[in-house]
Homo-oligomer: A and B are copies of this chain.
């Protein structure tokens, strides 16, 4: 579970529009879905059905370099 309000506070932003935090959630959710789909593909490629930590790490690196 990600607590957006805590993340915003920790980033030192005290005043955030309601629509801004909703948009932030949307973007994070899209990122997360893309990451999981990519990790799933990598797990399958390695002959596994279960997504492991290393699939997530590889997917994150892959998506970052692709963007």
A residues in contact (CB < 8 Å) with B: 1-4, 7-8, 10-17, 19-20, 22-25, 27-29, 31-33, 35-37, 39-40, 49-53, 55-57, 60, 64-65, 67
Shortest distance in angstroms between A43's beta carbon and chain B's nearest beta carbon?
A: 8
With known contacts A4-B1, A37-B11, A28–B27 Cβ distance under 8 A = no
Contact in complex: A52, B19 (CB < 8 Å) = yes
Q: How many protomers of this protein does the assembly include?
A: 2
Of A4, A10, A20, A50, chain B has the most CB atoms within 10 Å of the CB of A20
Interface of A is mostly: helix
Residues of chain B contacted by A8 (CB below 8 angstroms): 36
Residues of chain B contacted by A28 (CB below 8 angstroms): 2, 28, 31-32, 35
